[in-house]
Amino acid sequence: MKFGLHQPIGYLVLGLIFTLLGCDSSGGSQGTTNTEEITANFSSSTTYYILAEGYAGATGAYNLKVELAAVDFDAIIQPNPTSGIPGGTVSLAVTLQNIGGMTASNVTATLSTTDAEVIIQDGTAAFGSILAGGNAVNTTDPLVFRIASSHVNNQPVSLSMTVTASGGGSWVFPVSVPVPFADLDLVNLSLSDPGGNNNGFPDPGESVSLGFGVTNSGASTATGPISVAVSIEAGSTVSGATLLPTGSTVCSAGNLAVGGTAACPARTLTIPAGAANGQTIILNFAFTDAAAHTWSERRTLVVGGAVFASILPVLDPIGDNGAYNCDLRDVQASVDATNILRIRTIFATPCNLTGIHDVYMYDGTRMITLTLEGNAKNIWTNASGTWELTPNPTSFTITPLSGTTLDVTYTIPLADIPNLVITGNSVMMFAAVILSWSEADYNDYAPDSPGGSMPWVTFAW
């Protein structure tokens, strides 16, 4: 059998033939460089023939190099049990496959870890010799480690398994074993101040009610009773604020299943009259289960109104508002400790809200607009592929809806935003206004977008 008969004149061609057990078993290589390579599996005690041919003037002296493919390993690592528990032990059933070209001898696996909550109890296993293409299992030579009882964070433990063999080389395989545990999180923090100015913010001299709950976002049941203690951290800039009741109260008398939520007794927070707007009260929520495991979270309340920050790289130009009197100048946003999102569009000068005002929001897949149109609030979405109205939660407000104003504030709890999937603490947005849909394009975008492309910016909180 010859290779490369159809190669253009002047190209080097090498063809190789392997003869196995009296039958032709061929592998070949041909090309336009003067180096060709063939990989094949050989059997012992067998004679092989290699035929090299050069064509069309490419004859000459060539070097022939025969190399054995080195030892190489794959590993299948099966933990037993498949999930660990705090304080429990895990053994590893390891199947090593020799995917190299020759026998591996004196094969050994060694466990190591940088995880302080992993205690290796039997860190070595010998596998003897493994033929090329063969595999071996550590059935009679265990690999065992223990998980510290302090490992109660619902995170996997991680180790490395290093395989060595005679002749040098080492192969490192990561080992990760899940350790499911409960993970208690603060949810549904709300603030009401009907005894004060009822603006939803803690103001100087007010006593406000803090409602909240606890949810188990972990991977195993939290054992009840589940209690909470709330305290004011020393880093608060408000001094003299008080919380009632003090001490620990029970959120759930029984267990809290994975995904379960329980309401906790509300706290009354009293802000001293001498506090100033912008000062902070840092609350620490410490949840405890029946076995005295604790999970802590903190939230920072800011005295006075929402603390807005501009989302624009630069203020929007003045006078780029075409036919509509409302000239966008700034877009500011805020998310407070109770997870209420506020977006404020600010105009260059006060204007009459006769047109359509959109705040676009985007989670990377779906878009919505918080819309002021016809002096009413709406939310539109493109989730179905075309823009449609979505249900309009009562918690969504726009202030003001009409009249002449310097700014408009859109308010909606993050949890009530329809359609979007907001993961983490950011969302993309921009603002645009138009006199009416008879315009060719929005009259003004912020961030500025003279070409009309969507000028997304990421707002993070």
Q: Are 172 and 160 in contact (CB under 8 A)?
A: yes
Residue 358 in the binding site for Ca ion (CB under 5 A): no
Measured from the CB of residue 308, what is the shortest distance to Ca ion in angstroms?
17
Q: For Ca ion, give the closer residue by CB, 132 or 428.
A: 428
Residue 327 in the binding site for Ca ion (CB under 5 A): yes
Give the range of 43-51, 76-84, 226-234, 446-454 binding Ca ion by CB under 5 A: 446-454
Q: For Ca ion, give the closer residue by CB, 381 or 409.
A: 409
Residue that is written with structure tokens 């299948």 in the block? 76
Residue 330 in the binding site for Ca ion (CB under 5 A): no
- Kindly report each contact of residues 43-51 with a partner whose C-beta sits within 8 Å and lies 24 or more positions away, as own/partner: 46/20, 46/21, 47/19, 48/18, 48/19, 48/20, 49/17, 49/18, 49/19, 50/16, 50/17, 50/18, 51/15, 51/16, 51/17
Residue 320 in the binding site for Ca ion (CB under 5 A): yes
Q: What does the block give as tokens for 419? A: 């359609």
How open is the CA angle 300-306-234, to the nearest 5 degrees?
20
d(CA 372, CA 427): 20
d(CA 89, CA 70): 36
Q: For Ca ion, give the closer residue by CB, 201 or 287.
A: 201
Q: For Ca ion, give the closer residue by CB, 175 or 182.
A: 175
Q: For Ca ion, give the closer residue by CB, 55 or 360.
A: 360
Measured from the CB of residue 198, what is the shortest distance to Ca ion in angstroms?
7
Residue 197 in the binding site for Ca ion (CB under 5 A): yes
- Interface with Ca ion: number of residues (CB under 5 A): 16
Query: Among the residues of 251-397, which ranges form H helices?
Result: none
Q: For Ca ion, give the closer residue by CB, 196 or 260.
A: 196
Give the contact letters, 396-435, x = binds to Ca ion (CB under 5 A), - = no: ----------------------------------------
Q: For Ca ion, give the closer residue by CB, 125 or 341.
A: 125
Cα–Cα nearest to 314, from 435, 408, 455, 409: 455
Q: For Ca ion, give the closer residue by CB, 145 or 445.
A: 445
Measured from the CB of residue 90, what is the shortest distance to Ca ion in angstroms?
14
Residue that is written with structure tokens 């054992």 in the block? 223
Measured from the CB of residue 93, what is the shortest distance to Ca ion in angstroms?
12
Q: Measured between alpha carbons, how far is residue 411 from residues 29, 269, 330, 371, 421 in Å?
A: 69, 24, 17, 12, 18
Measured from the CB of residue 146, what is the shortest distance to Ca ion in angstroms?
14
Measured from the CB of residue 316, what is the shortest distance to Ca ion in angstroms?
4
Q: What does the block give as tokens for 72? A: 């190489």
Residue 328 in the binding site for Ca ion (CB under 5 A): yes
Give the range of 246-254, 328-336, 350-358, 389-397 binding Ca ion by CB under 5 A: 328-336
User: Which residues have CB under 8 Å from 163's CB, separation 6+?
Assistant: 73, 75, 96, 107, 108, 109, 110, 170, 171, 172, 173
Q: For Ca ion, give the closer residue by CB, 289 or 358.
A: 358
Q: Are 3 and 26 in contact (CB under 8 A)?
A: no
Residue 196 in the binding site for Ca ion (CB under 5 A): yes
Residue 448 in the binding site for Ca ion (CB under 5 A): yes
Give the range of 124-132, 225-233, 380-388, 412-420 binding Ca ion by CB under 5 A: 124-132
Which string of b and e fits 216-238 if b means at least 16 CB within 10 Å? bbbebbbebbbbbbbebeeebeb
Q: For Ca ion, give the closer residue by CB, 122 or 407.
A: 122
Backbone region of residue 198 per phi and psi (left: phi > 0; alpha: psi in -120 to 50; beta: other values): left
Residues 126 to 155 in contact with Ca ion, rule: CB under 5 A: 141
Give the contact letters, 261-300, x = binds to Ca ion (CB under 5 A), - = no: ----------------------------------------
Q: Is 209 exposed, middle or buried (0-12, 13-18, 19+ CB in 10 A)?
A: middle
Q: What does the block give as tokens for 344? A: 């404020």
Measured from the CB of residue 212, what is the shortest distance to Ca ion in angstroms?
18
Q: For Ca ion, give the closer residue by CB, 68 or 314.
A: 314
For residue 22, the 8-state DSSP code is: T
Which of 203, 289, 330, 336 lies at the binding interface for Ca ion (CB under 5 A)? 203
Which of 289, 330, 358, 444 lies at the binding interface for Ca ion (CB under 5 A)? 444
Output phi, psi for 159, to 5 deg.
Answer: -140, 175
Q: For Ca ion, give the closer residue by CB, 183 or 206.
A: 206
Cα–Cα nearest to 92, from 177, 216, 24: 177
Q: Are 4 and 55 in contact (CB under 8 A)?
A: yes
Measured from the CB of residue 187, what is the shortest distance to Ca ion in angstroms?
22
For the chain, what is the total number of helices (H) and then of strands (E)? Answer: 0, 31
Which of 13, 77, 125, 147 lies at the binding interface for Ca ion (CB under 5 A)? 125
Measured from the CB of residue 399, what is the shortest distance to Ca ion in angstroms?
16
- Residues binding Ca ion (CB under 5 A): 122, 125, 141, 193, 196-197, 199, 201, 203, 316, 320, 327-328, 444-445, 448
